[in-house]
Amino acid sequence: MKLREIEKADITDILDIRVSTKENHFSMTDLAEAGVTADSVAEWLEDSPR
């Protein structure tokens, strides 16, 4: 298995996978209400040390 750093282009897919879970399910609305959006993840990613 190869691992790589997350890129901005991955964010939509990551969120799509997150909302497709059956256990501990969150909808996109739930995530947005918790402050997790594509924009907030992109901002976090930009501010993260690498």
Residue 48 banded pLDDT, cuts 50, 70, 90:
confident
Does the pLDDT of residue 2 top 90, yes or no? yes
Give the model confidence (pLDDT) of 14-39 as tens digits.
999 999 999 999 999 999 999 999 99
pTM above 0.75, yes or no: yes
Rounded CA gap, 7 and 18, in Å? 16
Which helix (H) or strand (E) element contains residue 6?
A: none
